[in-house]
Amino acid sequence: MRKLWLNEREYVLFSEAKFNFASEVATRKRSIDFYSMLKSLPDPDPVLRKQGKDIKIYRDMLIDPHVWACVQSRKSGVLSLEWEIDKGKAKSRQADIIENVFNSLDLSTLISEILDCVLFGFQPLEIIWQKQGNLILPAEISAKPPEWFVFDDENKLMLKTKDNFIGEKLQERKFLCPQYNPSYQNPYGERTLSRIFWNCTLKKGGLHFWISFTEKYGMPFLVGKHPRGTSSDETENLANLMQAMVQDAIAVIPDDSSIEIQEAIKTSSADIYEKLIDKMNAEISKAILGQTLTTEVGNKGSYAASNTHMDVRGDIIEADKRIVERTLNQLIRWIYDYNFSGSTNIPVFFMYEEEDVDLTLAQRDKILSEAGVKFTKKYLMKTYGFEEDDIEIAQTNPEQNSKPEPAFKEFKESQFPDQQAIDEFINSFSDEELQAQADTI
DSSP assignment of 98-146 = HHHHHHHS-HHHHHHHHTTHHHHSB--EEEEEEEETTEEEEEEEEE--G
- Band (pLDDT 50/70/90 cuts) for residue 405 is low
pLDDT of residue 18: 61
- Band (pLDDT 50/70/90 cuts) for residue 311 is very low
pLDDT of residue 95: 94
Q: Which of 70-74, 153-157, 363-367, 407-411 has the least mean pLDDT?
A: 407-411
pLDDT of residue 318: 93
Residue 145 has pLDDT above 80, yes or no: yes
Looking at the fold, whether 168 and 297 belong to one and the same domain comes out as yes
Domain assignment present for 96: yes
How large is the average pLDDT for residues 203-217? 69
Q: Which of 108-112, 200-204, 235-239, 299-303 has the least mean pLDDT?
A: 299-303
Domain assignment present for 33: no
- Band (pLDDT 50/70/90 cuts) for residue 370 is confident
Domain assignment present for 333: yes
Does residue 315 contact residue 290 with C-beta atoms inside 8 Å? yes
Residue 149 has pLDDT above 90, yes or no: yes
How large is the average pLDDT for residues 119-139? 96
- Write down which residue in 354, 383, 415 finishes a domain: 354
Looking at the fold, whether 252 and 211 belong to one and the same domain comes out as no
Looking at the fold, whether 137 and 159 belong to one and the same domain comes out as yes
Domain assignment present for 170: yes
pLDDT of residue 303: 53
Q: Which of 163-167, 265-269, 273-277, 319-323 has the least mean pLDDT?
A: 265-269
Average pLDDT, the chain: 79
Instruction: Measure the CA angle with vertex 141, ends 102 and 188; round to 5°.
Output: 115
Residue 440 has pLDDT above 80, yes or no: no
Indicate the number of domains in the chain. 4
Range of the domain at 420: 407-439
48 or 372, higher pLDDT: 48
Looking at the fold, whether 239 and 106 belong to one and the same domain comes out as no
Residue 192 has pLDDT above 90, yes or no: yes
pLDDT of residue 294: 47
- Write down which residue in 263, 295, 330 finishes a domain: 263
Distance CA 358, CA 361 (A): 5
Residue 336 has pLDDT above 70, yes or no: yes
Residue 274 has pLDDT above 70, yes or no: yes
Looking at the fold, whether 75 and 47 belong to one and the same domain comes out as yes
Residue 358 has pLDDT above 70, yes or no: no
Looking at the fold, whether 211 and 230 belong to one and the same domain comes out as no
pLDDT digits (tens, 9 = 90+) for 287-306: 999 876 544 555 455 555 55
Residue-wise over 40-71: b if at least 16 C-beta within 10 A, else e? Answer: bbebebebbeeeeeebebbbebeebebbeebb
Looking at the fold, whether 307 and 372 belong to one and the same domain comes out as no
Residue 312 has pLDDT above 60, yes or no: no
3-state secondary structure of 139: strand
pLDDT of residue 313: 75
pLDDT digits (tens, 9 = 90+) for 13-39: 766 656 555 677 777 676 766 665 667
Domain assignment present for 207: yes
Looking at the fold, whether 93 and 230 belong to one and the same domain comes out as no
C-beta pairs of 315-320 under 8 Å, 24+ apart in sequence: 315/290, 316/74, 316/77, 316/289, 316/290, 317/74, 317/77, 317/78, 320/74, 320/75, 320/77, 320/78, 320/115, 320/118
pLDDT digits (tens, 9 = 90+) for 418-431: 666 666 766 766 66
Looking at the fold, whether 345 and 298 belong to one and the same domain comes out as yes
Burial of 285 (0-12, 13-18, 19+ CB in 10 A): buried
Residue 410 has pLDDT above 60, yes or no: no
Domain assignment present for 186: yes
Residue 159 has pLDDT above 70, yes or no: yes
Domain assignment present for 279: yes
- Write down which residue in 354, 376, 392 finishes a domain: 354
Looking at the fold, whether 232 and 339 belong to one and the same domain comes out as no
Residue 415 has pLDDT above 60, yes or no: no
Looking at the fold, whether 329 and 373 belong to one and the same domain comes out as no
Looking at the fold, whether 227 and 304 belong to one and the same domain comes out as no
Work out the percent of the chain whose per-residue pLDDT is above 90: 39
Domain assignment present for 34: no
